[in-house]
Structure 1
Amino acid sequence: MWLNKEHTDNIAIKAYRTTLLHSCPNHIVIDNLFNAAKLDDVLSILKQPNQWQTQQHTYSALYVDSDQWQQALDNQRFVQRDIWQRKAHTPSNDTAHAFLSFLRDDIFMSFLSRIFNIELTDINVADPIINTNYFRLSRADFVRQHADDSPGRQVCMLLYLNKAWQPDAGGELAFKGCDNNPIRITPRYNRCVLFDPSSKGSEHWVEALNKEHSQRYRYNVTSWYWSE
């Protein structure tokens, strides 16, 4: 089982809903939601260096090539990070692929649907696979302020896979929040952040990694979900 049952019962769901409705942006943070031993297996695969590729976005175009990136002004560049490359054929014992599949499974999407009180489905999503993947950031990378409120997108999920993350390492997820009160969330191991991308204050960015920790990566899973 990927999910820890104590975080998925009716009492937990009720508490999540309350927190969601009374936060700005509408978000919740759940620690230890997933089976830690299984996530350890995932992380061991992610630390292999040969399956990552640089990804770059500008505010005017996503997935730009190197020429477009060089031509863009610095203030138009908002994402530079590495994205994990899925293999053409998924080995049956590859835990990293299995976890990505679970995050789009009916079990997990039903769990999210209960929290957000909306029916999430991939029935009208052209390519669900590309909406769930692993990412990593180095000291040189960045995710600047942006919104994830694409039409029909109801839920964004972030899960962090950073063991023994130090308080001075940087890399916090930062929400714009309300009333000039940004919210910063440390990317500690097995910490899941769920939020409504259309809610007030949900614009967000990632704080840069501090130079004292320039030799390490910040790992996370990002997954987006839609309703009909």
Structure 2
Amino acid sequence: MLDRVTQNSCRLLMWLNKSKVSKEAMSAYRKALSTSVPRHVIIDNLFATAMLDQVVEALSEPHHWQTQQHTYSALYVDDEQWQGAIESERFVKRDRWIANKASANSGADKLATEFLAFLRSNEFMSFLSTVFKVHISDLNLADPKLNSNYFRLKPGDFVNEHADDSPGREICMLLYLNKAWCKGDGGELVFSGKDNELVNIPPVYNRCVLFDPSSEGSEHWVNAMASSGNASYRYNVTSWYWTE
């Protein structure tokens, strides 16, 4: 029987590419954080593509998705509140993924749920803590699952400018799951950057963006998707991490 350390290592490498968690890679990530504005690092192919391919199968099922709408003054507003808000007060309209309890224990649905759980695991949070040199934990979160989920945008949806710097929130992770994305499709992540020098990041498949939400220039938005683009949806995982 494998000991606990070996089990944890196997779990980590099942989801992550070994070369992306080496000592040399970790050093490069920390260097990127020390020189970038905002403090961020882009890691392509951090996760095992074969595993993510199966996750994407679950995201293609239409019954998993529920519309999410936020204004700057209130989150999760209903249609009446949404229609009553002026356009400049609306900052998010997108779909969020809802796990299907009937199919959560089999196939791609199970794997999609397991991946979200892995993103809250001690193994993955230890990786993030090492990169950012800060200890993160779910010990004081009432419901950690609310801090990691899949989202999708379609033409007409949007994520307008905002900051993710809630007290205690140390790291934000964005992972893109768009196999069909091509230049010109829109949906790029844009940081306000330093002195209004925008940082534009295309949402290519298996690209992970990690950033410090309290750092200079970390305010961000998502460019609108092109109505005539190759991709019908823009998929991503958003995950937030907190100190104890």
TM-score, length-normalised on structure 1?
Answer: 0.97
Q: Structure 2: which 5+ runs fail to align? A: 1-13
- Give the letter aligned to residue 76 of structure 1: E
Matches within 5 A, 1:156-175: 156-175=172-191
2:83 matched to which residue of 1? Answer: 70
Q: Quick check: which one's helix share is greater?
A: 2
1:222 matched to which residue of 2? Answer: 238
CA shift at 1:87, angstroms? 3.0
CA shift at 1:43, angstroms? 0.3
1:15-67 per-residue CA deviation (whole Å, 9 max, x = no partner) reads 10010011000000000000001100000110011110000000000111111
Whether contact under 8 Å (2:172, 2:211) holds in the other structure is yes
Structure 2 residue 24 is matched with structure 1 residue 8: no
2:201 matched to which residue of 1? Answer: 185
Distance 1:211 1:66 in 2: 23
CA RMSD of aligned residues (A): 1.1
TM-score, length-normalised on structure 2?
Answer: 0.91
Distance 1:82 1:146 in 2: 18
Whether contact under 8 Å (2:181, 2:231) holds in the other structure is no
- Give the letter aligned to residue 191 of structure 2: F
Deviates further, 54-63 or 212-221: 212-221
Q: Structure 1: which 5+ runs fail to align? A: none
1:156-181 per-residue CA deviation (whole Å, 9 max, x = no partner) reads 00000001411111110000001120
CA shift at 1:214, angstroms? 7.4
CA shift at 1:92, angstroms? 5.2
Structure 2 residue 135 is matched with structure 1 residue 119: yes
2:119 matched to which residue of 1? Answer: 103
Distance 2:227 2:58 in 1: 26
- Give the letter aligned to residue 199 of structure 1: S
Matches within 5 A, 1:6-85: 6-85=19-98
